Amino acid sequence: MRARTWKVAIAMTEFAAAGINKVYYGERINDRCKVYITTRQNTEAGPLLGTVELPFIGRHSPDGFEWGYGGSGPAELALAILTDLLGKKPPHLMYHSFKIAIIAHLDRYQWYITDHAVTSWVKDFEAREAAAGRAIHDGK
């Protein structure tokens, strides 16, 4: 529970400092991987923070999320983060590239990534693909 509290504290600090709306964070406890989303919403009473588990889509890994390498669990995590942020399933090439560039390098025990960092990566990815003349398609 201590790791989760630490992640929420980081999220709250970054929300206040940078106007970030979401922080995705993961922790490994007893070899079980859990991933959470802390979301900031502005209300009349001030900022409201809420934390939920990242929904598991179940397309690649029957064992759930993983990170720190390039397998099926990390593919599942990349797909889930991008689906949550974009509001729809991302193209296959996009989430596999996100897995290799970001998810495969996350710390084994604890990590976090902001919506701004993910959005920046998506924009860079789309610009690189466009510059190379490759179209990014939905679906497979």
Q: Is residue 75 part of a domain?
A: yes
Q: Is residue 136 part of a domain?
A: no
Rg (CA), the chain: 15
Domain housing 31? 2-126
Q: Is residue 87 part of a domain?
A: yes
Q: Is residue 33 part of a domain?
A: yes
Q: Three-state DSSP class for 62?
A: coil
Q: Three-state DSSP class for 111?
A: strand
Residue 45, class by beta-carbon neighbours within 10 Å (0-12 exposed, 13-18 middle, 19+ buried)? exposed
Query: Which residues share a beta bridge with 23?
Result: 38, 114
Note the pTM of the prediction, 2 decimals.
0.84
The total number of structural domains in the chain stands at 1
The terminus-to-terminus CA distance of the chain in angstroms comes to 38
Of all helices (H) and strands (E), which one includes residue 32? strand 32-43
Selected residue with higher pLDDT from 61 and 36: 36
CA distance 58 to 17: 35
Q: Is residue 140 part of a domain?
A: no
Q: Is residue 134 part of a domain?
A: no
CA distance 37 to 34: 10
Q: Is residue 132 part of a domain?
A: no
Q: Is the pLDDT of residue 78 over 80?
A: yes
CA distance 65 to 67: 7
Q: Is residue 139 part of a domain?
A: no
Residue that the structure tokens 């193209």 belong to: 91
pLDDT reported for residue 14: 58
Render pLDDT for 33-56 as a digit per residue (tens, 0 to 9): 999 998 877 666 666 677 889 988
CA distance 11 to 21: 9
